[in-house]
Amino acid sequence: MRTIGPNNPAPEFIAPTVEPAGDDIPREACGIVGVYARGEDVARIAFFGLYALQHRGQESAGISASDGERIRVQTSMGLVSQAFQEEDLERLQGHIAVGHTRYSTTGSSRISNAQPIMSKGPGVELALAHNGNVINALELKDELSELGCTFSSTADSEIIAHLVTHAPATSWADRIAYCMRKLEGAYSLVMATKDTLIGVRDPLGVRPLCIGRLNGGWVLASESCALDHIGAEFVRDVRPGEAVVVDQDGLRTAYQREPDGRRATCIFEYIYLARPDSVIDDRLVYSARMDMGAELAREHPVEADMVIGVPESATAAAVGYSKESGIPFGEGLVKNHYVGRTFILPDQRLRDLGVRRKLNPLPHLVRGKRLVVVEDSIVRGTTIPHVVGLLRKVGVAEIHLRICAPRIMSPCYFGVDFPTKSELIGANRTVDEIRDFVGADSLGYLSPERLVRAVGKDRSQYCLACFTGKYPIPVQLEMDKLVLEARRRSLATATPT
């Protein structure tokens, strides 16, 4: 366990990197929650809110609480259920809480990067939790360093926290306006001062953030499923470019950036990241996924005996494919829900079993059948060949793979840890080559146009950059800066031979 403070030693900022992974899945963003509720056990409420958002990050978890006089923060590595003991929650007394569960996109996986992050500036101290990725972080870090800020983490979230507390302003409206002028990238934020809860969503609305009502108090959360989990009533989404403030006078909009008509909600929230029972921008994720499956059936029809989904993010799409095609839906794969991160590594024999630790086929239901296998996405192409292999071993006659996302062609710089372009199988092989590589009889990807139709709004409302390479804001210059800076610092610290 570690308590964060603003005056810890300052390691260098680490540019975004991608570590090898055995799972062929898009790494999640982060989950954030904020609670303002007098007379309630706000730390416990935040804990269960984070528990509902565990799918968004499994590396670390943290909760801060304010009693009007002091902000206390508790963080730990691991899952939410592992990060807190009963005595930790009892120590986090107050009427305001902020929680965070993390997957590292910018900054490495270490306890110093666990959130909430504490920052203290002229006249204000706060705890901040962040979901997203800021692409001009190095430039902002240099500016803040000149102001005397020190950094205890390697994550962009601390840069945002210091930017807020050192903004040349006194009101929340002016602080947020200043930060929005400075920040480039994606950020949904929840922040707590000693007496105020603040929620902020970036002007493009890349990452979700919603508002709920709880027994006279208020809750902010990445997804509405967290509100359901704690018995809060969904009120609305935080609007893109909006900052809401909750204090003793209730909830109000403290700042709303003048809309310019641009939106860039991450469409991968609907494909994979969000829970199916969440509502994002008035759209139930489960329904969106069902419609993706229906569009897949129209775009890539095939004769088959059964439709199955790779559990669980593709299950709704498989149901949609089945209903549209008239091919019966069935469960051909069972997922082990209790396989998560572990500090006990498998030996080589168990490692060779690979995906079987997570998925197991049902031979009596699929043997001899022609299957439509629906999956949410293919990133590196390291897992789906094993899934196909498992089904082949139990005697499946044909495997027609259907993907309810287009080919992933480009990295994400806004909070989802996709690999570099050289590691993306969709960017380096044709559809036929991918089909042969994974061992399927046929392969069909959902087109961007049909994906947008399934989700239900105009294409201009979504970020499709991972499929098209067209980013909602220019990223290449800032990414080049990160790479050059990382190389410069690497050379500066290298030991001569």
Give exposure, 53-78, as e/b (b: 16+ Cβ within 10 Å).
bbbbbbbbbbbbbbeeeebbbbbbbb
CB atoms within 10 A of CB 430: 10
pLDDT value for 114: 83
Q: What is the DSSP letter of 148?
A: T
> Mapping DSSP to helix (H, G, I), strand (E, B) and coil, where does residue 149 land?
coil
Q: Which of 30, 149, 463, 466 is catalytic?
A: 30
pLDDT value for 297: 98
Domains in the chain: ranges and CATH:
31-264 (3.60.20.10), 279-468 (3.40.50.2020)
pLDDT value for 452: 97
Q: DSSP readout, 393-422?
A: HTT-SEEEEEESS----S---SS-B---GG
Q: DSSP readout, 312-359?
A: TTTHHHHHHHHHHH-PPB---EEE-TT----SS---HHHHHHGGGGTE
pLDDT value for 206: 95
Q: Dihedral of CA 187/193/198/199: which sign?
A: positive
Whole-angstrom distance, CA of residue 361 vs CA of residue 369: 13
Whole-angstrom distance, CA of residue 177 vs CA of residue 415: 22
pLDDT value for 113: 77
* Amino acid (one-letter) located at 211: I
Beta-bridged to residue 306, according to DSSP, are 371
Residues with Cβ within 8 Å of residue 35, at least 6 apart in sequence: 42, 45, 46, 49, 96, 97, 98, 99, 197, 214, 217, 218, 219, 220
Query: Cβ(204)–Cβ(187) under 8 Å?
Result: no
The tally of CA atoms less than 13 A away on the side-chain side of residue 482 is: 20
Picking from 232, 235, 270, 234, the residue whose alpha carbon sits closest to that of residue 37 is 232
Active-site residue, 466 included? no
Whose structure tokens read 């630790």? 357
Residues with Cβ within 8 Å of residue 232, at least 6 apart in sequence: 212, 213, 214, 219
Tens of pLDDT, residue by residue over 57-66, are: 888 899 999 9
Query: Cβ(350)–Cβ(309) under 8 Å?
Result: no
Picking from 113, 108, 185, 180, the residue whose alpha carbon sits closest to that of residue 412 is 185
Residues of the chain with pLDDT below 70 are 1-29, 104-112, 338-357, 419, 476-497
